[in-house]
Amino acid sequence: MTTNENGMVRLKINSIEVSADPSWSLLETIRFYGIEVPTLCYVEGLTPYGACRLCVVEIGSGDRTKLVASCTHPVWDGLVVRTHSKRVMKVRRMIMELLLARCPSSKVLQDMAAKMGISSVRFSPKHDDCILCGLCVRMCEEQMGAKAIGFAGRGVDRKITTPFDIRSDLCKACGACMYICPTCQLRCLGPEAKDPLCGGCTNIKPVCMEEGADDALCYMHPCVACVKEPEKV
Amino acid sequence: MIKVAKLKNPAELEKLQQRLQNEHDPEKPIITICNGTGCRALGSENVVSAFKKELKDQKLDGKVGLRPIGCPGFCEMGPIVVIQPENIFYKRVAVEDVGEIVNDTVTDGKLIDRLLYENSSGEKAVHEDDVDFYKKQMRLIIGNNSQIDPENILDYVAIDGYSTLAKVLSTMKPDDVINEITASGLRGRGGAGFPTGRKWKACRDSEGEPKYAICNADEGDPGAFMDRSLLEGNPHSVLEGLIICAFAIGSHEGYVYVRNEYPLAVKTLETAIKQAREYGFLGEDILGSGFDFDVKVIQGGGAFVCGESTALMASIEGRAGDPSPKYIHTTEKGLWGKPSNLNNVETLANVPLIMKNGSDWYRSIGTESSKGTKIFSLVGKINNTGLVEVPMGITLGEIIYDIGGGIPGGRKFKAVQTGGPSGGCIPESLLDLPVDYESLSKHGSMMGSGGMIVMDEDTCMVDIARYFINFLKGESCGKCVPCREGLERMGEILNGICEGKGKEGDIELLEDLGELLADASLCGLGTSAANPVLTTIEHFRDEYIAHIKEKRCPAGVCKSLIHYTIDESACTGCGECLKACPEGAITGEKKQAHTIKLDKCIKCGICYDVCKFDAVRKE
């Protein structure tokens, strides 16, 4: 690999020329320079997996550009990267829509969707508990050294489970899988909406608070009154 | 079979070939019988044993040869019996015909008229060459199937088999082999069309030991069976290609990854490998060249996605067949993290041909960017179902009409689906399209591994898209979100459209999902999965609109959108439909017009099929 005298490669992220260590992944580089890219299946310290595809970025120039998952993509000299191009944003929003439809009660997903400004979900909710990001599987194997859980089945039948769906002797009940899970722990306790999109917590608009109470917080739980109606497209 | 000790050098191979040639009596009749998987389903094994018995009973077994062969391609007329050396061609031979063939044709030289194939001109074809199905083909690879009993290595050796390997090992350097393959313009036959020479070079140049040479025989596309037929019919040609490949890239260990559903191919291949070892074409110090190479057969577990390179390698390693990102090519880091070269069965079968006849010869066949021939499996609504091998650049129309013999029942051609589930549907207006990698992908389809599914006017394009998406939905590994969730949602929408629950915006949503799949999926399965939907929307949007807005299926396929009625003026009251209806939904007095009770009707269409007076209407 071509590197400069400091052993670094130079690449362009959103038209800004930056340098990076050739051992960094593209996502690590992007985040190092303070650019925010959403991820769900990536956690520092676990092997990148490249499954949620939220971290896609556009690489290349001219009409020969393509989208790649930055978490599993290496950096090299002369790489041209756009982290928030139209094409990238369209893909991220669509993925978010699909994930929300799968697990509408995940607070992590709802907050992420609200942040991305997603205003409608065009699919019917499935009310699943798991987005199959595989963080728990890698956590169990790589950090806890247990290898108690893994994937089974394929396609729509894919699931995370213990071998033969029975309690595994390898499981130390350490709870690391639950700790790392973006969907099953932090669940939205609000009323189950017909629309998989909630966005309640992020789109908060304190209508029920009295005027002049700017420094106070609403402790009602769950509060439905102050949730902004999702915009319909 | 002649027992021969391990061949120690090219001269011994030549001596063996000479001996086989001397022993071969050109006048001796040989009866060849299709005995591949397809014809076995039609009872060809019984035909083979009937021939064996008949020849033995008549004490002809020394004078007449019997050769069960792999698939010669013309599956529609199978099992086919060809009597060499005249090459008399008999179609659809059954056990009852065997005695007559031996008595009349083999002994007395008389033709049996009813077993002769009738060309579209109405003329009877006597010899194999007269059959118009074969005339426009260029059967460089599959043509040899009829010369070879796949379980007998000597048949392959007799037609110059393994002499190319001997030439390569004794006179060439690996780099010369790579240069020759690169110059030939050979591209991968598995689908993507990556230049084979470039792949070999990348693998050779990669650092790391050992290197692996792998043959991809995980042919999973619905309606495609060319790789199976090659492995069942001529396994040694694939092995020879693989050994040459291994020599070129510097590998000493190879694998053939065969899908679980091909038991006969696995059996033939294992026999072939065993025999090749006995003769010294595999193992240590092949033909005295000092080059070592051996092959293992790995059977898949039944997952379509394992045809994808990274998933295939994961599967060989014993892990679940999930694809992984390949920004670093498998030629650098593949199987067990070592440089690995993966080629399709047909690609490897081309290799000995190129090395034997030279790259200039190979370059003379095909188009500017796609060289050589390609085997397609022609299936669906077509008269001549089977395997066709044609030079690249031939038009789709020539394949479908001149070779395939057009659409049965005089119905109208509607579309052809190329490239399997990842390919697209090409409409009638593009029948003049030359078949090569670029032309097909320009129109949203792809060469794929070579499946060609022909559809006529009675095929609903939305239903076809639905079929492929539902296939892929179950075959996606489920790792990345676009492929797993996107395909599931696409299936949901398409099922809805076919059930009459389509709504405005569905087409646009399908297009958005298609774009997402193509842009953001992890592996090739996902990126091409939406092609059947996108191409049918592009070329047959009207049909989607008819389903969604008018709740009507123009082809009359989608059950929820059709209903059957009886035209009173045409009905003679014959009672055929009444008798045939499994639900008792048809009522009526004899010789009076019948009626269908719509609430009982399950829309099976039996009444429509049995009515001789066209009185049953499908609307």
Amino acid at B337: G
CB within 8 Å: B473 and A52? no
Residue B96 DSSP symbol: G
CB within 8 Å: B327 and A74? yes
Q: Which residues make Cβ contacts (< 8 Å) with residue B520, sequence separation at least 6?
A: A53, A56, A67, A69, A91, A95, B480, B482
Rg, Å, chain B Cα set:
27
> What pLDDT score was predicted for residue B60?
87
**Residue of A74, A80, A84 whose CA lies nearest to A35:** A84
Angstrom distance (rounded) from CA B189 to CA B191 = 6
Cβ under 8 Å to B: A residues 42-81: 49-53, 56, 66-69, 72-74
CB within 8 Å: A155 and B520? no
Which residue in B has a C-alpha nearest to residue A89's C-alpha?
A: B516
Which of B475, B515, B516 is nearest residue A155 as measured by Cβ atoms?
Answer: B475
Q: What is the pLDDT of residues B92-118, one digit of tens each?
A: 999 999 999 999 998 888 899 999 999
Residue B604 has a CB neighbour count (10 Å cut-off) of 15
Helices B345-357 and B226-233 pack at an angle, to 10 degrees, of 60
Instruction: Note the Cα B537 to chain centre separation in Å.
Output: 26
Phi, psi angles (nearest 5°) of residue A219: -105, 5
pTM (2 d.p.): 0.88
- Chain position carrying tokens 């047959």: B540
Which residue in A has a C-alpha nearest to residue B321's C-alpha?
A: A154
Angstrom distance (rounded) from CA B140 to CA B184 = 15
Which residue in B has a C-alpha nearest to residue A51's C-alpha?
A: B480
Query: Contact, B80 vs B68, CB < 8 A?
Result: no
Amino acid at B503: K
Helix (H, G, I), strand (E, B) or coil at A43: coil
CA distance to B29, B32, B82, B211, B607, per residue, from B77 (Å)? 22, 14, 12, 44, 30
Overall fold of domain A135-180: Alpha-Beta Plaits (3.30.70)
Which of A51, A99, A157 is nearest residue B479 as measured by Cβ atoms?
Answer: A51
- Chain position carrying tokens 């006529």: B456
Which of A95, A154, A155 is nearest residue B481 as measured by Cβ atoms?
Answer: A95
Which of A95, A101, A157 is nearest residue B482 as measured by Cβ atoms?
Answer: A95
Mutate to test the interface with B, among A26, A154, A157, A232 (most CBs of B within 10 A): A154
Amino acid at A223: C
Q: What is the pLDDT of residues B416-437, one digit of tens each?
A: 999 888 888 999 999 999 999 8
CA distance to A54, B114, B144, B147, B272, per residue, from B158 (Å)? 58, 34, 11, 9, 15
Q: Which residues make Cβ contacts (< 8 Å) with residue B176, sequence separation at least 6?
A: none
Amino acid at B60: L
In chain B, pLDDT over 70 holds for what percent of residues?
99
B512 contacts chain A (CB < 8 A): yes
Residue B63 has a CB neighbour count (10 Å cut-off) of 13
Angstrom distance (rounded) from CA B286 to CA B166 = 9
Angstrom distance (rounded) from CA B299 to CA B297 = 7
A200 contacts chain B (CB < 8 A): no
State the first-to-last Cα distance of chain B, in angstroms, to the nearest integer: 63
* pLDDT tier, B66 (very low <50, low <70, confident <90, very high otherwise): very high
Closest CA–CA distance from residue B76 to any residue of chain A (Å): 34
> Is the alpha carbon torsion for B178, B182, B184, B189 positive or negative?
positive
Which of B482, B484, B515 is nearest residue A158 as measured by Cβ atoms?
Answer: B484
Mutate to test the interface with B, among A156, A159, A160, A233 (most CBs of B within 10 A): A156
CB within 8 Å: A50 and B305? no
What integer is the mean pLDDT of B10-19? 92
CB within 8 Å: B327 and A68? yes
B320 contacts chain A (CB < 8 A): yes
**Residue B322 with chain A: CB contacts under 8 Å:** 151
Angstrom distance (rounded) from CA B9 to CA B11 = 5
- What HEC string does A92-146 produce? HHHHHHHHHHHCCCEHHHHHHHHHCCCCCCCCCCCCCCCCCCCHHHHHHHHHCCC
> What pLDDT score was predicted for residue B409?
87
Which residue in A has a C-alpha nearest to residue B483's C-alpha?
A: A155
pLDDT tens digits for chain A (233 residues)?
A: 677 778 899 999 999 999 999 999 999 999 999 999 999 999 999 999 999 999 999 999 888 899 999 999 999 999 999 999 999 999 999 999 999 899 888 888 888 888 888 878 889 888 888 999 999 999 999 999 999 999 999 888 999 999 999 988 999 999 999 999 988 766 666 555 556 666 555 555 444 555 555 555 555 554 444 444 555 54
CB within 8 Å: A154 and B477? yes
CB within 8 Å: A156 and B489? no
Closest CA–CA distance from residue A101 to any residue of chain B (Å): 9
Instruction: Note the Cα B321 to chain centre separation in Å.
Output: 23
Query: Contact, B481 vs B509, CB < 8 A?
Result: no
Helix (H, G, I), strand (E, B) or coil at B537: helix
Size of interface A-B (CB pairs under 8 A): 103
Closest CA–CA distance from residue A226 to any residue of chain B (Å): 31
Query: Contact, B343 vs B199, CB < 8 A?
Result: yes
CB within 8 Å: B478 and A67? no
Query: Contact, B101 vs B64, CB < 8 A?
Result: no
CA distance to A130, B295, B326, per residue, from B311 (Å)? 23, 20, 11
Q: Which residues pair with B296 in a beta bridge?
A: B255
* pLDDT tier, B302 (very low <50, low <70, confident <90, very high otherwise): confident
In chain B, pLDDT over 90 holds for what percent of residues?
69
Q: Half-sphere exposure (CA, 13 Å, Cβ side) for B207?
A: 0
- Chain position carrying tokens 């199978």: B78
Which of A72, A151, A154 is nearest residue B325 as measured by Cβ atoms?
Answer: A72
> What pLDDT score was predicted for residue A64?
87
For residue A163, is it left (φ>0), alpha (ψ between -120 and 50) or beta? beta
A104 contacts chain B (CB < 8 A): no
User: What burial class does residue B169 get, using C-beta atoms within 10 Å of its C-beta: 0-12 exposed, 13-18 middle, 19+ buried?
Assistant: buried
Angstrom distance (rounded) from CA A224 to CA A228 = 9
Which of B320, B489, B519 is nearest residue A98 as measured by Cβ atoms?
Answer: B489
> What pLDDT score was predicted for residue A4?
75
Angstrom distance (rounded) from CA B147 to CA B580 = 48
Closest CA–CA distance from residue A202 to any residue of chain B (Å): 24
Q: What is the pLDDT of residues B259-301, one digit of tens each?
A: 989 999 999 999 999 999 999 999 999 999 999 999 999 999 8
| Mean pLDDT score across all residues of chain B | 91
Residue A141 has a CB neighbour count (10 Å cut-off) of 16
CB within 8 Å: B481 and A98? yes
Instruction: Note the Cα B573 to chain centre separation in Å.
Output: 47
Q: Which residues pair with B244 in a beta bridge?
A: none
**Residue A233 with chain B: CB contacts under 8 Å:** none
| Domain locations in chain A as residue ranges | 135-180
CA distance to A158, B294, B402, B534, per residue, from B393 (Å)? 42, 37, 15, 25
Which residue in B has a C-alpha nearest to residue A121's C-alpha?
A: B509
Angstrom distance (rounded) from CA B136 to CA B144 = 17
Tokens describing residue B170:
């004794």
Which of B321, B325, B473 is nearest residue A156 as measured by Cβ atoms?
Answer: B473
CB within 8 Å: A51 and B328? no
CB within 8 Å: B484 and A156? yes
> Is the alpha carbon torsion for A199, A201, A203, A204 positive or negative?
positive
Residue A117 has a CB neighbour count (10 Å cut-off) of 12
Which residue in A has a C-alpha nearest to residue B484's C-alpha?
A: A155
Q: What angle do CA B285, B289, B291 make, to 5 degrees?
A: 55
Closest CA–CA distance from residue B473 to any residue of chain A (Å): 6
Angstrom distance (rounded) from CA B53 to CA B30 = 15
B469 contacts chain A (CB < 8 A): no
**Residue of B187, B222, B490 whose CA lies nearest to B351:** B187
